[in-house]
Amino acid sequence: MTDFTPRFSLQSEALACEGSNVWAVSDRAHSLARKGEDVIFLCVGDPNFDTPEPILDFARARLGVGRTHYSPAAGEPMLQRAIADIESRVSPHPCSPDDVVVFPGGTNAIYAVLSCLLNPGEEIVIPEPMYIGYVPICDNLRLSVKRVACPAEKDFAFDVEAIKAAISEQTRVVMINTPVNPTGAMATPAQLRALAAYCRKRAIWLVCDEMYSMITFARRHTSLRTAAEALDNIVVIDGLSKSHAMSGWRLGWAVARGPLVDRLAQFAGATIFGCPQFIQEAAAFALEFDSYFVKQMCDAYERRRDLIVARIGRIPGLGCYSPEAGMFVMVDVSDVAASGQEFAEALLDAERVSVLPGAPFGQSAVNHVRLTLAADEVVLTRALDRIERFVTHRCRQVG
């Protein structure tokens, strides 16, 4: 019998080559924890709250009445309506349920949108630091990614002029994220309006990932769809993973206009063939009756942010600014470490705290580490005690 040599598609090869180093520190932390070490994990962005009980009850009830069958490719009408209501609430542009396509999670929504908008080799402009998850999607679709730096010196602020300067004749799509994972930076409505108008003039799509839209502290998020004057080149992506502590339910969506909605629905039909009925209905319920839970979780994230920012501010050698939104704090370690990577590795070795190095998010974050807010205050306090001890010891050795 001849040997079988497996051969794979270029698409899957691109994923196999993709930055396997991203989670190296965290993987090592997990293996230490498996050996019984007392490791504190501050690396993931998975909410540490349970999905609110009324949402669980509603899902159970829908399971009980047999909502376990195929669902329309674009989504259950009840959920499309709930999402359209949210998008219409403060917007000058009413949103129709027909403008909404539901996907199993934000990642899948992004994948579907980019699949419908770009061919392999075509250019997408993305500001960095950017969500790590964009990299495998763009690799898999074999896109040419042009990164736009939002430097740490300017608190990673959203920079419309820099994005405009990066747009070339080759650019087909600009993809932004507000509030940003990992920095918590937010675009203002005026910035969104200006960028949308510019992209439209250049006949470019503008995709906005708004996954943290409901986790904001001082000021509320404004959707690109609300800020933009015209909607025909606009796509907004959001979901329930973060805001409703429903990461494992896999529920996200894209809101667009006209022929793109049809393409997205066709793409969803071909690749997913409808999300589970009972999950979509529980998601609709969550969106309609959510204000209490979402506020409670936001308040907790805000307290945790304040705790981290205050403690980091008192540790000589470390620096951070106070993020306006999201689930993370970026800590500048440039005075005490060769890079975020070196800091994260040494911190894990010395104190068994696992944080994410900034480099995989982009060059601008290379001297930072990302701390999650998805840990309660007791855990955060213990972690910050260890971080303080680690840095103090390090500075003493160098001094």
Ligand X SMILES: Cc1ncc(COP(=O)(O)O)c(C=O)c1O
Q: Which residues bind ligand X (CB under 6 A)?
A: 45, 105-107, 131, 133, 177, 181, 209, 211, 239, 241, 247, 252
Q: What are phi and psi of 257, to 5 degrees?
A: -130, 150
Least separation in angstroms between CB 105 and ligand X: 3
If you count them, how many residues does the chain have?
399
Least separation in angstroms between CB 321 and ligand X: 19
Q: Nearer to ligand X by C-beta: 131 or 158? A: 131
Which residue of this chain has its Cβ atom nearest to ligand X in the complex? 106
Two structure tokens written together for 41: 């994990």
Q: Nearer to ligand X by C-beta: 252 or 276? A: 252
Give the pairing of strands 123-128 and 171-177: parallel
Q: Nearer to ligand X by C-beta: 43 or 353? A: 43
Q: Nearer to ligand X by C-beta: 26 or 336? A: 26
Q: Quick count: other Cβ atoms within 10 Å of Cβ 209?
A: 30
Q: Nearer to ligand X by C-beta: 131 or 285? A: 131
Q: Nearer to ligand X by C-beta: 336 or 356? A: 356
Q: Would you say 359 and 365 are in contact if contact means Cβ atoms under 8 Å apart?
A: yes
- Please provide the DSSP assignment of 168-210 as one string: -TTEEEEEEESSPTTT-----HHHHHHHHHHHHHTT-EEEEE-
Q: Nearer to ligand X by C-beta: 159 or 209? A: 209
Close Cβ partners of 200 (under 8 Å, ≥ 6 residues apart):
206, 230, 232, 233
Q: Nearer to ligand X by C-beta: 25 or 318? A: 25
Q: Nearer to ligand X by C-beta: 191 or 200? A: 191
Two structure tokens written together for 106: 């934000």
Q: Nearer to ligand X by C-beta: 133 or 151? A: 133
Least separation in angstroms between CB 69 and ligand X: 23
Least separation in angstroms between CB 125 and ligand X: 16
Least separation in angstroms between CB 171 and ligand X: 21
Least separation in angstroms between CB 3 and ligand X: 39
Give the pairing of strands 252-255 and 356-357: unpaired
Name which of 208, 197, 293 is nearest 242 in CA terms. Answer: 293
CA angle 46, 50, 247 (to 5 degrees): 40
For residue 300, CA distances in Å to 43, 329, 374, 376 come to 18, 14, 9, 8
The answer to whether the bond into 47 is cis (omega within 30° of 0) is: no
- Please provide the DSSP assignment of 340-369 as one string: HHHHHHHHHHHH-EE-EESGGG-GGGTTEE
Let me know how many helices (H) and strands (E) the chain has, helices first. 14, 12
Angle between helices 291-313 and 377-398 (to 10 degrees): 20
Q: What are phi and psi of 121, to 5 degrees?
A: 90, -15
Least separation in angstroms between CB 131 and ligand X: 4
Least separation in angstroms between CB 35 and ligand X: 28
Q: Quick count: other Cβ atoms within 10 Å of Cβ 74?
A: 25
CA of residue 310 relative to chain centroid, distance: 25
Least separation in angstroms between CB 295 and ligand X: 21
Least separation in angstroms between CB 311 and ligand X: 24
